[in-house]
A and B are shown apart, each in its own frame.
Chain A
Amino acid sequence: MTATTADQHHDHHPTGITRWLFTTNHKDIGTLYLWFSFTMFIIGGLMAMIIRSELFEPGLQFVDPLFFNQMTTVHALVMIFGAAMPAFVGLANWQIPLMIGAPDMALPRLNNWSFWLLPPAATLLIASLFVPGGAPAGGWTIYPPLSIQGGMGVDFGILALHMMGISSIMGSINIIATIMNMRAPGMILMKLPMFVWTWLITAFLLVTCIPVLAGAITMLLTDRHFGTHFFDSSGGGDPVMFQHIFWFFGHPEVYILILPAFGVVSQIIPTFSRKPLFGYTSMVFATATIAFLSFIVWAHHMFTVGMPLTGELFFMYSTMLIAIPTSVKIFNWVSTMWRGSLTFETPMLYAIGMVFLFTIGGFSGLMLAIVPADFQYHDTYFVVAHFHYVIFGGTILGALGAVYFWLPKWTGHMYNETLGKWHFWLTVIGMNVTFFPQHFLGLAGMPRRIPDYALQFAEFNMVSSLGAFLLGLSQIIFLINVLKTIKGGEKASDRVWEGSTGLEWTVPSPAPYHTFATPPVVK
């Protein structure tokens, strides 16, 4: 793939607060998303510290049970909707136009609006902690009847989810319109970088499943305030129906979180293996297959509600089927590394860490897919361990790897490699010490979402809490490294990495405010 270099003119940009409030520039909006995401990551992380402090030893230490439940609920909502999703929308904003040779996103003003809906939504969600009755406390799944009976905080949560959902839908429309219409001449779909492919598929997932969540929480709101009984059994409604609708959104949501991370890893591994990605076409089709399957597996989250055996068998086998396209991807990453000229800079460490840890999460997911086994594991710490391996080990490690990978292109400076490696190893050790013992806790029967537990679970909980404190503290290194890189440091070359390929590496480092005003030609 060759291309003309970018137009380096038009590098002037507005300054001061108005630059950020009214910006329509994809790089500015990407930066806003990434800082917002990191802020929410810290807030959600502090909530996790409260949870792990309380669970450090048996008995009630610091918080009352209601507040503990609010913490588990809001931690999840903040991390999923405030940290993980915006992180990848930020990466998409920065990278997609650069990778497809477009001057900007297709709908720049909508882009500004998509971002600026998020801070009020996050404020609303966190403000729910301070209203009478407190924040939503029934888990991030907001199942009725708890969510119908909850206080005003549930309304705050529902409104915040609506706003974040609208933001996601608008962001997805923008991404689809950009990829379908703004590609440089010669960049056919099967030449798209994998990060762009995974985002295109993720955007389709988002526009399909977020309206379903919006519908579900709208009905919840009318049940709470307008006398309807969609999910209220006292009026003939069906709370299990809510679970079906929620998980029809909720399972694709997991893939919304993980597919862009797959895309990042598919960019990083070939770069540091100095080889093209193995099996590009199969990667594209595997991603699309995972996206399709994500819509026919939702009830594996609710095996214990008492569905017919045929239903349980269908959802068990369809869930197991996801292992096939996922294995294709893992096989392709490993094959890309096979006999490559590997070097292990920080982004590569994150990519390999992500592949390894996500695979552990995938295996425990297969265990959970087995109906009779799930009856034992359901609602235990085994589930908590499983999804943290998927979401932290997969999504967050992918996002951190992406930041290290593209930070020199964004700032024009190389990050501190020593600090990057310290951050990686402390994060990975912290993560495993936190979440691996939770498998044992779950298998031994410790339920999730409880502030106190039986004495037999004390040792593993103490280890898990120590790991969480290490994990939390190690993120300070990341912040210091990013700030140092923004401020100065060794000058990054345009290509940054020896094995870099793709249009984003043809523009200068730091990337000028306006790029590709004249479209490059892709051969």
Chain B
Amino acid sequence: MDNVTADNRTGAGLDARRRAGIRKTVIVVVVFVVCVFAWTIIGRLIN
């Protein structure tokens, strides 16, 4: 993370380790959110 672009939109200034970390965090949280939403409804359907 040596520098950032002027509008900081692309994340191009972030080093690869941080970009990979952000990607991993987003994937884990999104999968979790989808699972909770799905289980709320599926849990009612199978009861």
Contact = CB atoms under 8 A, between A and B. Distances in A.
B40 A212 contact: yes
B26 A173 contact: yes
A172 B22 CA distance: 13
Contacts of A176: 25, 29
A25 B18 contact: no
Interface string A231-263: 000000000010001000000000000000000
A177 B27 CA distance: 10
A479 interface: no
A522 to B, nearest CB: 14
B26 A24 contact: no
Contact of B41 (A208, A215, A514): A215
Interface in B1-29: 1-4, 6-9, 11, 13, 18, 21-22, 25-26, 29
A484 interface: no
Interface stretch (A101-109, A384-392, A395-403, A501-509): A101-109
A286 B22 CA distance: 27
B33 A181 contact: no
B21 A245 contact: no
A514 B9 contact: no
Given A104-B8, A207-B29, A219-B41, A517 B18 contact: no
Given A173-B29, A180-B21, A24 B8 contact: yes
Contacts of A230: 44
Contacts of B41: 215, 218-219
Given A176-B25, A180-B21, A245 B7 contact: no
Contact of B36 (A103, A177, A208, A518): A208
Contacts of B26: 107, 173, 177
B9 to A, nearest CB: 5
A177 B22 contact: yes
A347 interface: no
Contacts of A518: 2-3
Contacts of A208: 32, 36
Contacts, number: 84
Contacts of A182: 1, 18, 22
Interface residues of B, number: 27
Contacts of B34: 211
Given A103-B1, A180-B21, A109 B9 contact: yes
B36 to A, nearest CB: 4
Size category of the binding interface on chain A: 35 or more
Contacts of A241: 44
A292 B18 CA distance: 29
A135 interface: no
Given A176-B25, A177-B22, A241-B44, A24 B7 contact: yes
A161 interface: no
A180 B8 contact: no
A125 interface: no
B21 A173 contact: no
Contacts of B4: 10, 103-104, 514, 517
A169 B44 contact: no
Contacts of A487: none
Contact of A181 (B2, B21, B32): B21
Interface string A154-173: 00000000000000010011
Interface in A416-457: none
Contacts of B37: 211-212, 214-215
B13 to A, nearest CB: 7
B42 to A, nearest CB: 9
Contacts of A193: none
Contacts of A214: 37, 40
A379 B39 CA distance: 31
Contacts of A103: 1, 4, 8, 13
A207 B6 CA distance: 31
A169 B29 CA distance: 9
A216 interface: yes
Nearest to B42: A215
B3 A517 contact: yes
A262 to B, nearest CB: 23
A181 B8 contact: no
Contacts of B39: 215
Given A106-B22, A181-B22, A173 B30 contact: yes
21 contacts: A24-B7, A103-B13, A104-B4, A107-B22, A107-B26, A109-B9, A169-B33, A177-B25, A177-B29, A181-B18, A181-B21, A207-B29, A207-B32, A208-B32, A211-B36, A211-B40, A212-B40, A215-B39, A215-B40, A230-B44, A514-B6
Interface of A: 10, 12, 24-25, 103-104, 106-109, 169, 172-173, 176-177, 180-182, 207-208, 210-212, 214-216, 218-219, 230, 241, 245, 514, 517-519
Which 3 residue pairs of A and B lie closest in terms of their CB atoms, listed nearest first? A215-B40, A211-B37, A211-B36
Given A169-B33, A173-B33, A215-B40, 17 more contacts: A24-B9, A103-B1, A103-B8, A107-B26, A108-B11, A109-B9, A173-B25, A176-B25, A180-B21, A181-B25, A212-B40, A214-B40, A215-B36, A215-B37, A216-B40, A514-B8, A517-B13
